[in-house]
Amino acid sequence: MTIEFFAGRYPYILIAVLLAIGLYGMTMKRNLLKKVIGMTIFQTAIYLFFIQGAFKQGATIPVYTEEFGTDPTLYMNPLPQVIVLTAIVVGVAITGVALSLLLVTYRRFGSLDEEVIIQSMRESA
Amino acid sequence: MDGFLDLAPLLAILASAIAAVAVPLTGEKRRNLRETWTVLAAVVKFSLIAMMIPGVLAGERYGMDLLEIAPGIGLSLRVDPAGLLFATSASFLWILTSFYAFGYMRGANEAKQSRFFSMLAACLSATIGLCFSGNILTFVIFYEILSVATYPLVIHSGSKKAYEIGRQYLIYALTAGIALVAGLAAIYAVTGTLDFQPGGFLDAEMGMPFLWTVFLLFALGFGVKAGVMPLQSWLPNAMIAPTPVSALLHAVAVVKAGVFGFVRLVGYIFGPELFGAMGAATFLAILAAITILVASLIAITKDDLKARLAYSTVGHLSYIVLGIAILAPQAMLGAAFHMITHAAMKITLFFCAGAIYVHTGKKKVSQLDGIGRQMPLTMAAFGVGAVGLAGVPLVGGFVSKWYLGVGALDAGLSIYLWVFLLSGLLNAAYLVPIVTRAFLRSSPDHTRFNEASPLMVVPITITMLFALLLGIHPDGVFRFFSLAEAIVASVTGVTFTGGI
Amino acid sequence: MSQLPALIPTTLILAGLLSLLVGLRSLRAGHLIALTGTVVSFLVSVIGLLEVTSSGQPIRYALGGWIPPIGIEFVLDHLAAYMTTLVTGIGVLVLIYAPRSIRHESPGKAALTYPSMALLVAGLAGMSITGDLFNLYVFLEIAALAAYALLATGRRGGAFATLRYLLIGAVGGGFYLLGVGFIYFSVGSINMADVAARLPELLESRSVISGAVLMVLGLALKMGLFPLHFWMPDVYTNAPSSSAALIAPIMTKVSAYAIVRLMLDVFPPGFFTEALPIAATIGWMSAAGILFGSIIAIGQQDYRRMLAYSSVGQIAYVGLGIALANPIGLIGGLLHIVNHALMKGLLFLIGGAIQWRTGLVRIPDMVGLGKKMPWTMYAFVIAVLAMVGIPPTAGFFSKVYLMIGAVQADAWVWFAVIVLSSLLSAIYFFRMVEFVFRDVEGAEESADDSATGGVSAEELRGAVAGEVPPSMFIPIAILSAAVILVGVFNFLIVRALLEPAVAPLLGG
């Protein structure tokens, strides 16, 4: 039973694992860069979810070709792919901002360790 | 004429609101012009209110609905006997207090007079608004405004102590306000209406838990201002304010607003029958009775004159609350009338205390030996007020006490009659000696005749006469007695024939 | 006229981009462009509002001419018009206010701040009018990115606090997106109206349920609903005053609005209450948040930190309104969106004014400030009266409606929470009022406060009554008046906008 359970759903399980890793990285790691990496993994998991959802066996890319004709079931669903593209753009922007913030923080505090920074902020407050 | 009178409540509120703005704009430099605004507003306000008396006694209910302020409920003004009773006395006494205050503030050379008079005017607007509120929402709005507007007056002196007391005052007042809002919300959620109805509009169908929650919330809200124990401690502390404030607000306006709230609660929200049936009446009566006795006892121990008067006020406010809680028509009549007689007598006493302070710097009872020789008019007025509070005939206090006592007997609650009688004795104990010592003992400081300024002595005399008149011919002054009778009639359906 | 909804965000986006380009050359021009764009957007919102209330019909616009549900559409209905007017209005006021404040607190960043503000408003306005679930995510992230830019320019801890906010925001956005995915794959559409039409048959499906939960969870994170609020205090404390003044009033509110939109127009009535205990969960978290925010705010020494914790409590009122799910409770919550925006905006603007004039940020330092800045302090009193809930200010009415809603829903614990929290807010606010108006011995009314970080006597020239410059004073005055007027005339808003908005609750 377990084999079928996994075989049919392995993409989703992978996605769930990635989500968990991402969240773990964001919360448990002290190093800010590692947190950002965790965030990226988290986001990637979500992209994979959409791509996976759009996938159909035996279907081709959603560009009209003569052989496949007008039957929609033979083409993969373009909408989730578009969603993913947009989400990736958003993710890039967020990561970019995150990294610049990281730089500024490093310049100001001299460290990327969360605990050290919090301590430093408390002292100067 | 009728159409105009419908506008009268709104105009009356606005009169002092305008003064509240005009006063600070005129400023300290043009003092006399500034005081004119106050007097003008007071006279206009009182005239408008007095004009409505005949009509209301005949059954008219003036008023108007202002804007709708929440879905289905509006700011609405209605003039009925209860509101008119309170409003007339407040506005009349404001005229006198204004002159008195001019004398007091100038005599003591107080600072920030513009702010003082402005806020005082604002308080009066709020008080009159409260009186003429046609529904609970309007009432609560004005009640809150009153709490906020009195704060600058309490902290007037700006001393550290004043701020501490002001903070305590605000906490009490705001908590009370919030309790009222909560009660209001509860009532609206269940009944969909907030209009005051003579005889009440809640009914037993709504369930005891709900009714008791509402009662307790409103009791908290009104009890703070009415000084019912254990919520009374802000009142003696608030005496730190200048005496005109203590006199008008804490003897006449603010505290009476609390008591008036109880009138509305029992007469126009719950209705006497329901209130009695649910046991709230007994609960309230017991609290009030305890307050009366304990406050009177504490008053005896106080040497600071204003503190003594403050505790006396606490006690007398609970006379009114007790009278309401007894539920017998006579008792309610006595309670309503006591709102007026107590105001007249107490304000006289406070006026005297203030005059003495401004003129001689004395604040304590023990310092007042022989002062009768120096300030005979003042002390004579004090004497009248004192015996009136004790319940001696010829002064108004006797009349209201009479009805309170008769009502208690009527309701089979003769223990409360004993409470009234005992309290009368205690009143005498803490007030009369002041007078006797002032006249009969001698002291080196007080041998020459030297009254306070006429601006103060004249109002004192007038309030003293007011108190006397209420005792000799209760209905003679602005038909207060008839108004009180009308309240009882509309709430209980019982009418009285003849006078005393 | 049907193009109108599109004008709201696009004007702002264009203004933002243009402002960035021009601003690098001329700061003044950059500011002017951003301001003009926001004003235009505000006017368009108002026109849209009038149109929608008079005709009773929403205005729909299909992006690019592609017919929904294939294409993305903007829907300006009562609730949307209500939100956009609020968002753009606050945007206008803060943009008027910003230049002086920024020059004082974070000089050199001005060129980037104005475009970011325009983009933030664009994102939030777009969120309010979109009729497409994914489009909501896009605008949500636009707003979030702009917010990160605005917040990071603050003092020492600004970048770090913003980074934390960013991480949490990414999670929130991510959950929301995941939720959208679940819904899409179950229902086959991401157009709100279309989803609403198709959902009823699929309610049992586990993916729909997961989708709903994930979407709400993501939005709750962005909203700062307790216990997901922990990013707020640091962010508001370390942000420049004008940024905080823009973000605090509106950002979390639009996320709350999104939850309302889901509850009313996407998922069937009763789904959030009966099928899943979403409403109840939000309710208990809100109740906790209200108490938590009010209690912790009391101990705060830094003005902005106090406001931040207060905001945690206040957004929870909106959450409570959502949870009550009866018309008057929800109306109370929705009304509180505007009320709190006005009150909190005013408080942050005042904070910025204080910081400009005197450089002070800690409450204990502000003793006797009433002498130096009386008019600002009067505005502060008005704001305080509103926050505590004294009639006839705006704050009173939303609280009363929430109370009534709680009683009607038999939610007596929540009722007690509202009552208690009003008392608690009175404590921390009045404490400050008293402080500020105290007569301090030897408080010189010096015009030069550069020593404490405020302005020098020279810069003070041209200030209104010696307090703050007109560009800062006018928005404060406008908001003070608004707080009172919105209170007195609140029923107009309720009648015209909120009652139609909650109509779906009544089984429509």
The strand pairing partners of C468, in sequence order, are C464
Band (pLDDT 50/70/90 cuts) for residue C12 is very high
Average pLDDT over chain C reads 86
For residue C302, the cross-strand partners are C362
Task: Tell whether C213 is covered by a domain.
Answer: no
Torsion of CA B460, B462, B463, B465, to 10 degrees: 120
Classify residue B304 by its DSSP letter. B
Task: Tally Cβ neighbours within 10 Å of residue B366.
Answer: 11
Residue of B419 and B449 predicted with greater confidence: B419
Average pLDDT over residues C160-186: 92
Token pair in block for residue C297: 């705010």
Interchain contact A75–C (C-beta under 8 A) = no
* Residue B477 covered by a domain: yes
Query: Looking at residues B225-246, what average pLDDT do you find?
Result: 85
Helices (H), C191-302: 192-198, 206-223, 232-238, 241-261, 278-298
Please indicate, yes or no, if residue B17 is contained in any of the structural domains. Answer: no
**What pLDDT is stored for residue C139 in this prediction?**
95
At residue B75, the 3 state secondary structure works out as strand
Q: In this structure, is residue B445 part of a structural domain? A: yes
Q: pLDDT (tens digit, 9 = 90+) per residue, C330-380?
A: 888 999 999 999 999 999 999 888 888 887 888 888 877 777 787 888 889
Question: In the predicted model, what is the mean pLDDT of chain A?
Answer: 86
Six-digit token string for B446? 């007080």
- The tally of domains found in chain C comes to 1
- For C212-236, the pLDDT digits (tens) are 999 999 999 998 888 888 888 888 8
Helical ranges in B327-446 per DSSP H: 329-360, 371-374, 376-390, 396-410, 414-440
CA distance C342 to B443: 64
- Position B42, amino acid: A
Pairing of strands B63-70, C59-62: unpaired
Q: Are C401 and C329 in contact (CB under 8 A)?
A: yes
CA distances for C105 relative to A5, C30, C501, angstroms: 59, 19, 40
Q: Give domain status of residue C166, yes or no.
A: no
> pLDDT by residue (tens digit) across B427-443?
888 888 888 888 887 77
Domain with B480, as residue range(s), is: 134-492
| B29 exposure class (CB count in 10 Å sphere: 0-12, 13-18, 19+) | exposed
Question: Is residue B168 in a domain?
Answer: yes
The pLDDT confidence band at residue B500, using thresholds 50, 70 and 90, is: very low
Contact in structure between C479 and C346 (CB atoms under 8 Å): yes
B177-192 residues labelled b (16+ CB within 10 A) or e (exposed): bbbbbbbbbbbbbbee
What pLDDT score was predicted for residue C453?
A: 67
Nearest-CB residue to B178 (from C328, C405, C422)? C422
User: Which residues of chain C neighbour B175 with C-beta distances below 8 Å?
Assistant: 423
CA C308 to chain centre: 12
ipTM: 0.91
CA distance B470 to B479: 10
Structure tokens at B496: 């009285």
- Residue C254 or B229, more confident: C254
Which residues in chain C have Cβ-Cβ distances shorter than 8 Å to A87?
137, 177
Is 50 exceeded by the pLDDT of residue B498? no
Assess C63–A contact: CB distance below 8 Å, yes or no.
no
pLDDT tens digits for range C71-117 = 888 989 889 999 999 999 999 999 999 888 888 777 777 788 899 99
Instruction: Tell me the average pLDDT across B182-207.
Output: 83
pLDDT band at B2 (very low <50, low <70, confident <90, very high): low
What are chain A's domains? 2-124 (1.10.287.3510)
| Cβ separation C491–B178 shorter than 8 A | no
Whether C365 contacts chain A with CB within 8 A = no
CA–CA gap between residue A115 and residue A31 (Å, rounded)? 9
Percent residues over pLDDT 90 in chain B: 4
pLDDT tens for residues A66-90? 777 777 777 888 888 889 999 999 9
What are the tens digits of pLDDT across the range B42-53?
A: 888 888 888 888
Please tell me which of the candidates B148, B182, B190 has its beta carbon nearest to residue C419: B182
CB C338 within 8 A of CB C257: no
Domain coverage including residue C405: 277-508
Cα–Cα dist B285/B185, whole Å: 26
Q: Which helix (H) or strand (E) holds B280?
A: helix B280-301
pLDDT value at residue C343:
92
In degrees and rounded to multiples of 5, residue C75 shows phi and psi of -125, 115
Residue listed under structure tokens 């301590």: A119
| CA–CA distance, C102 with C113 (Å, rounded to integer) | 8
Q: Are B126 and B155 in contact (CB under 8 A)?
A: no
Residue C296 domain flag: yes
Subunits in contact with chain B (3 or more CB pairs closer than 8 Å): C
Task: Show the tokens assigned to C468.
Answer: 């703050």
Contact between C389 and C490 under an 8 Å Cβ cutoff? The reply is no
> Is residue C190 less than 8 Å (CB to CB) from chain A?
yes
- Whether B246 and B336 have beta carbons less than 8 Å apart is answered as no
Residue B108, chain C, CB below 8 Å: the answer is: no
Please give the helix or strand (H or E) that residue C74 lies within, else none.
strand C73-76
Mean pLDDT of B474-485: 79
Choose among A46, A109, A124: nearest Cβ to C178: A46
Strand partners, B304: B364
- Please tell me the distance from the alpha carbon of residue B144 to that of residue B432, in angstroms, as a whole number: 37
Cis peptide before B474 (omega within 30 of 0): no
To the nearest whole Å, the CA of C392 is away from the closest chain B CA by 7
Closest in A32, A90, A121 to C141, CB measured:
A90
**Does residue B499 carry a pLDDT above 50?**
no
Q: What is the pLDDT of residue A114?
A: 83
**A46 or C494: which leads in pLDDT:** A46
Q: Which pLDDT band holds residue C44 (cuts at 50, 70, 90)?
A: very high
Model confidence over C291-315: pLDDT tens digits?
998 888 888 888 888 899 999 999 9
Q: Give the gap in angstroms from C-alpha C16 to the nearest C-alpha of chain A.
A: 17
**pLDDT tens-digit series, residues B241-289:** 888 888 877 777 889 999 999 988 888 888 888 888 888 888 888 999 9
From residue C112, how far is each of C100, C116, C238, C248 by CA, in Å?
A: 15, 6, 18, 19
Q: How far is C201 from chain A (nearest CA, A)?
A: 21
Q: Per-residue confidence at B446, pLDDT binned at 50, 70, 90?
A: low
**One-letter amino acid for residue B71 of the chain:** P
Instruction: Give chain B's domain count.
Output: 1
Task: Give the Cα separation of B462 and B455 in Å (integer).
Answer: 11
* Nearest chain B residue (CA) to C437: B158
Residue A108 has pLDDT above 80, yes or no: yes
- Please give the pLDDT value at position C11: 92
Cβ contact, residue pair C160, A117, below 8 Å: yes
Length of chain B counted residue by residue: 500
Nearest to A39 among C152, C162, C170 (CB): C170
C390 touches chain B (CB under 8 A): yes
> Chain B residues with CB inside 8 Å of C403's CB?
181-182, 185-186, 189
Chain CA centroid to CA B62, Å: 23
Summarize the confidence of residues B128-145 as an average pLDDT: 90
Mean pLDDT of chain B: 84
Neighbours of B392 (CB within 10 A): 18
B42: phi then psi, degrees, rounded to nearest 5: -65, -45
Give 3-state DSSP helix, strand, coil % of chain C, rounded to 5.
Answer: 75, 5, 20
User: Which of A29, A76, A77, A90 is the best mutation test for C, with the most CBs of C within 10 A?
Assistant: A90
Q: Is residue B414 part of a domain?
A: yes
Asked if residue C339 lies in contact with residue C264, where contact means CB atoms within 8 angstroms, the answer is no
Q: Supply the pLDDT for residue C39.
A: 94
Residue B260 token pair: 């008036």
**Burial C443-452, CB ≥16 within 10 A → b, else e:** eeeebebeee
- Phi/psi at B63 (nearest 5 deg)? 150, 175
Chain CA centroid to CA C409, Å: 27
- pLDDT of C25 reads 85
Q: Give the separation between CA C164 and CA A32, rounded to whole angstroms.
A: 9
**C395 contacts C485 by C-beta, under 8 angstroms:** no
* Cβ-based neighbours of C5, under 8 Å, separated by 6 or more: C48, C59, C60, C61, C74, C75, C76, C80, C129
Does the pLDDT at position C481 exceed 70? Answer: yes
The span from the CA of C20 to the CA of B498, in Å, is 87
pLDDT of A125 over the 60 cut: no
Instruction: Place B1 in a pLDDT band, splitting at 50, 70 and 90.
Output: low
Which among A101, A112, A113 is the top mutation candidate for probing chain C, defined by the most C β-carbons within 10 Å of its own β-carbon? A101
DSSP state of C437: T
For residue B280, the model assigns a pLDDT of 84
Q: How far is A81 from chain C (nearest CA, A)?
A: 11
Per the DSSP assignment, residues forming a β-bridge with C74 are C61, C130
- Going by C-alpha positions, the residue among B258, B263, B337 that lies closest to residue B291 is B258
Using CA atoms, how far residue B195 sits from B83, B132, C469, in Å, is 14, 12, 47
* C191 phi and psi angles, rounded to 5 deg: -80, 130
Q: What is the pLDDT of residues A36-57, one digit of tens each?
A: 999 999 999 999 999 888 887 7
Average pLDDT over residues B68-74: 74
Q: Is residue B160 part of a domain?
A: yes
**Top-ranked range on mean pLDDT: pick from B106-120, B206-220, C434-448:** B206-220
Per-residue pLDDT band at C507 (split at 50, 70, 90): low
Is B61 part of a structural domain of the chain?
A: no
**Quick one: pLDDT at residue B447?**
65
Per the domain annotation, does B52 fall within a domain?
A: no
Choice between C171 and B330, residue whose per-residue pLDDT is larger: C171
C6 located within any domain: no
